Copies of this chain bind each other. A is one copy, B any other.
Amino acid sequence: MEVKEIELKGHIIDSFILPEVFDTIMDHGGEFEVIQFDIGKHKKDPSYARLLVKAGNRKDLDVILGELLKIGAKIPDIEELRLEKAPKDMTLPEGFYSTTNHRTYVLLDGEWIEVKNTEMDVAIVVDRENKQAFGKTFSDIKKGDLVVVGNTGIRVEPPERPRSYTIFDFMKSRVSSEKPTRSIVSQVAGEIREVKKRGKKVLAVAGPAVVHTGSAESLAALIREGFVDVLFAGNAIAVHDIEYQLYGTSLGLDLRSGRSTEGGHRNHLYSINEVKRAGSIENLVREGKVSGGIMYECIKKRIPFVLAGSIRDDGPLPEVITDVIDAQKEMRKNLEDVELVLMLSTMLHSIAVGNLLASSVKTICIDINPATVTKLSDRGTAQALGIVTDVGIFLPMLAEELIVQ
């Protein structure tokens, strides 16, 4: 029997950490013994626990400890951080440590260093000279990079469940369409105002349904009035937005009358061609060819936007980043200071952006399809709050709430 002592501190009952620790040990065939437990007497007091974790052999114990580490356990008699060199570019050493999306520290030469740029499922590379550690994806790994392997010398801090009563608590566990929608809109507006008050940023991740459902003007207004600081989207929404500005249609559908107009997809393609002729969306705006809409407001307000390519794209527009790895990199660059993410009717971009977010970033996913929200959580963005509603009326109401006339 191999044995190791671990420590747990904080709101470990409230935040379900202690039961998760028990589950993890037993799911992997281990045993435990609680050797100390001091419960927080009042709601703000932290609790403290020491446990002996037991497993049949060293390998099994290591697996269990690796898992416990990721949910916040501390291993008091700290072993050294193990490092190995990357064998070639874009390739990691065997047994590399893969990160969670929680705040992470490594014990580098006797000192706990916070790992920068972590996100879900990346490796940790150490810069010994400068006493720094970074999260790195496969494509950024260079031959010879010092990569963390195993699971010693690492600490992870999962976020604790907040005790305050916000919309995130209210809806914590359920993806349901049967919720008081208007009250939810107000609460989302409140969250946005909070973030702006703290001087932090709101990121909107928007899918084409924003235009199809006729709510592009509302998103544009939110950008214009300073409630959205960064936009991530794809080729389609940019084209639809410009088509609507140029022709009043979206995929040939007149969004005001609801009538389908000339030529189905013709306006769609003509819009792409207009941008191609101008050379870029930015040029089209500068030339005065469009005078409103989502892209127009981004360019006028100098709001950074990332248009990431997908294999469904027509065109695509010149600003679209067609290489998906480049697009990921560009999105990462624009995540600094983002504290709230609104995911608006896009499964692909929501899951992709979710993978890049730290677990502390508040994430609200608005989609009429409950599957989007379920998948987002299944893929690891556990902090995402799902609101099953029609973005075509949600955005106008949100804009109304936020923008005082």
A49 closest partner in B (C-beta) = B39
Interface flags for A24-53 (1: CB within 8 Å of B; 0: not) read: 001110011110010111110000010000
A137 closest partner in B (C-beta) = B314
Alpha-carbon distance A182/B121, docked complex (angstroms) = 29
How far does the Cβ of A55 sit from chain B's closest Cβ, in whole Å?
Answer: 12
- Interface pair A40/B31, CB less than 8 Å apart: no
List 18 contacting pairs A-B, 8 Å CB cutoff, sorted by A.
A31-B43, A67-B263, A90-B276, A94-B273, A98-B263, A120-B265, A121-B265, A121-B269, A165-B259, A177-B368, A178-B375, A178-B378, A179-B258, A183-B258, A308-B311, A310-B324, A323-B324, A370-B371
Assuming the contacts A92-B273, A313-B324, A390-B390, asked whether A374 and B13 have C-beta atoms less than 8 A apart, the reply is no
- Chain A contacts with B in 357-375, Cβ cutoff 8 A: 368-371, 374-375
- Chain A contacts with B in 283-322, Cβ cutoff 8 A: 308-316, 322
How far does the Cβ of A121 sit from chain B's closest Cβ, in whole Å?
Answer: 5
Interface flags for A165-192 (1: CB within 8 Å of B; 0: not) read: 1010011001111111111110100000
Assuming the contacts A96-B273, A276-B90, A314-B138, asked whether A178 and B42 have C-beta atoms less than 8 A apart, the reply is no
**Given contacts A13-B22, A91-B276, A181-B214, could you give 14 more A-B pairs where the C-beta distance is less than 8 Å?**
A14-B19, A27-B165, A34-B39, A67-B263, A87-B277, A138-B273, A177-B209, A179-B213, A181-B392, A313-B325, A324-B324, A368-B390, A389-B392, A390-B394
A308 closest partner in B (C-beta) = B311
In the complex, identify which listed stretch (A128-136, A333-341, A343-351) lies at the interface while the others stay far away. Answer: A343-351
A38 closest partner in B (C-beta) = B37
Count A-side interface residues using an 8 Å CB cutoff.
121
- The answer to the question of A66 belonging to the interface, with a C-beta cut-off of 8 Å to chain B, is yes
Alpha-carbon distance A234/B98, docked complex (angstroms) = 22
Instruction: Please give, as numbers and ranges, the residues of chain B lying within 8 Å of A276 by CB-CB distance.
Output: 90-92, 138
Copies per complex?
A: 4
- The answer to the question of A327 belonging to the interface, with a C-beta cut-off of 8 Å to chain B, is yes
- The answer to the question of A388 belonging to the interface, with a C-beta cut-off of 8 Å to chain B, is yes
Alpha-carbon distance A22/B270, docked complex (angstroms) = 26
Instruction: Please give, as numbers and ranges, the residues of chain B lying within 8 Å of A375 by CB-CB distance.
Output: 178
- Interface pair A41/B31, CB less than 8 Å apart: no
The CB with the most chain B CB atoms within 10 A, among A66, A120, A322, is that of: A322
Which positions in A face B, CB cutoff 8 Å? 13-16, 18-19, 22-23, 26-28, 31-34, 37, 39-43, 49, 63, 66-67, 87, 90-92, 94, 96, 98, 120-121, 137-139, 163, 165, 167, 170-171, 174-185, 187, 208-209, 212-215, 250, 253, 255-263, 265-266, 268-270, 272-273, 276-277, 308-316, 322-328, 331, 347-349, 351-352, 355, 368-371, 374-375, 377-378, 380, 388-390, 392-394, 396-397
Q: Determine which of B163, B174, B255, B261 lies in contact with A26 in the assembled complex, contact meaning CB atoms within 8 Å.
A: B163
How far does the Cβ of A138 sit from chain B's closest Cβ, in whole Å?
Answer: 5
Alpha-carbon distance A174/B377, docked complex (angstroms) = 9
- Interface pair A263/B181, CB less than 8 Å apart: no
